[in-house]
Amino acid sequence: MASLSFIIGIIGNIISILVFASPIKTFWWVVKKKSTENYKGVPYITTFLSTSLWTFYGIMNPDGLLVVTVNGAGAIFQLVYVILFLVYAPKDKKVKTAKLVAILDVGFLGAAIAVTLLAFHGTMRLTFVGIICAGLTIGMYASPLSVMRTVIKTKSVEYMPFLLSFFLFLNAGVWSAYALLVKDIYIGVPNAIGFILGSAQLILYLMYNNKKSAEAIEEEEEEEGGGGSAHLVKGGIEMHSVEDNLNNRSLNKWKSLPKPNFSRQHSMQKIIKTLSLTPYELQSSWPLHESDTEEGNLDLP
């Protein structure tokens, strides 16, 4: 039984480290763009607190070697993520993140360790830290409940990544088996709850994987309707262009006809008379009679 629990614990270490390493790609882009954009630092701050306390729990537990290795590695990952977030976050978000780090990862963590060492003795230390760690782990596994509610409401798994849900389900299942073998209730209870919630997430994924959300359907309908309108508008523009061409040809043909001689002579007289006026007389003579413009006697500038 001891060797089996050790093997399962090793498997749990590997899966957990894969889960802890999953944000590497995200932070690679953060470093490349030198900005955290819309990412939030709360998950990394709380996970750093959880892994640090679990490491402390494993140190006090005589059989907690595998708990120390996995959570120690996880704490290092989360510490790097938190530091990178503080470096590349905008100024306002950087201040808020720093305050949260000071409260949770320094204040709460330090207070929990101090109270454990000073106020409790013997097995009570392990019980006190184990209860805190179990509560934090249950909170971590319960956090996707809002995502699950969104999946049910929208009937789409767009906002629930499959790989993350699958690895959390697998991680909870392996650590539940490990806790059952070593008879550790503080590891077993939160991971059993996580296994149940992870199973529910995978069931939802199978139910709504091939279904589109109502918003996506509406967008497609709008795009199709917009495409039809565009075709109609385009057709209207083309017909309008054809009519304009025909009208322009008729107008050019009409303009090309010779004008009567009396109109030309009258136009020349008007031009000569206009050129002989002084600037003041020229200004006072406007506007011309409508008959002059209608008959084409004088082209306005």
State the average pLDDT over residues 72-91.
95
Banded pLDDT at 144 (limits 50, 70, 90): confident
| Average pLDDT of the chain to the nearest whole number | 78
Instruction: Give the angle 151-158-204 at the CA atoms, nearest 5°.
Output: 40
pLDDT at 3: 86
pLDDT at 212: 58
162 or 117, greater pLDDT: 117
pLDDT at 211: 66
pLDDT at 12: 94
Can you give the C-alpha Rg of the chain in angstroms? 39
Q: Reply yes or no on whether the pLDDT at 95 is more than 90.
A: yes
pLDDT at 299: 35
Transcribe the chain into DSSP letters. Answer: -HHHHHHHHHHHHHHHHHHHHTTHHHHHHHHHHT--TT--SHHHHHHHHHHHHHHHHHHHSTT-HHHHHHHHHHHHHHHHHHHHHHHHS-HHHHHHHHHHIIIIIIIIHHHHHHHHHHH--THHHHHHHHHHHHHHHHHHHHTTHHHHHHHHHHT--TTS-HHHHHHHHHHHHHHHHHHHHHT-HHHHHHHHHHHHHHHHHHHHHHHHTT---HHHHHHHHHHHHHHHHHHHHHHHHHHHHHHHHHHHHHHHHHHTSPPPHHHHHHHHHHHHHHHTS-HHHHHHTPSPPHHHHHTTSS---
State the average pLDDT over residues 62-76.
94
pLDDT at 222: 57
pLDDT at 255: 45
181 vs 204: CA distance, rounded Å: 30
The pTM is what?
A: 0.68
pLDDT at 209: 85
Q: Reply yes or no on whether the pLDDT at 41 is more than 60.
A: yes
State the average pLDDT over residues 153-170.
86
pLDDT in tens, 178-236: 999 999 999 999 999 999 999 999 999 999 987 654 555 555 555 555 544 444 334 44
State the average pLDDT over residues 64-93.
94
Q: Reply yes or no on whether the pLDDT at 133 is more than 90.
A: yes
State the average pLDDT over residues 245-259.
48
